[in-house]
Amino acid sequence: MTVASAATSCNATPCKSLLANPATTTAIRASCPLCRFFGTRAGFNCEINYRRGELPDAAYCMSVNPPQHVSMGADGELSICRDSVNCLSNPPFDQPILPFGQSAGAGPFNCQSEATGVTCTVDSAGRGFVISSAGIEPVG
Q: In what order do the strands lie in the sheet containing 3-5? A: 3-5, 27-30, 103-106, 109-114, 117-122, 127-132, 135-139
Q: What span, in angstroms and rounded, lies between the C-alpha atoms of 76 and 57?
A: 11
Query: What pLDDT score was predicted for residue 88?
Result: 86
Q: How confident is the model at residue 10 (pLDDT cuts 50, 70, 90)?
A: very low
Query: What pLDDT score was predicted for residue 35?
Result: 60
Domain residues for the domain of 111 are: 3-139
Nearest alpha-carbon partner for 96 in 17, 31, 30: 17
pTM metric for this prediction:
0.74
pLDDT at residue 34 is higher than 90? no
Q: In what order do the strands lie in the sheet containing 68-73? A: 34-40, 44-49, 58-63, 68-73, 78-82
The torsion angles phi and psi of 82, rounded to 5 degrees, stand at -130, 145
**Beta strands 68-73 and 78-82: pairing type?**
antiparallel
Q: What span, in angstroms and rounded, lies between the C-alpha atoms of 84 and 95?
A: 24
pLDDT at residue 6 is higher than 70? no
More confident site: 13 or 11? 13
pLDDT at residue 85 is higher than 60? yes
Q: What is the pLDDT of residues 37-83, one digit of tens each?
A: 666 666 888 988 888 888 899 999 999 889 999 999 999 999 999 98
pLDDT at residue 28 is higher than 50? no
Query: What pLDDT score was predicted for residue 7?
Result: 31
Our count of domains for the chain comes to: 1
Q: What span, in angstroms and rounded, lies between the C-alpha atoms of 17 and 45?
A: 17
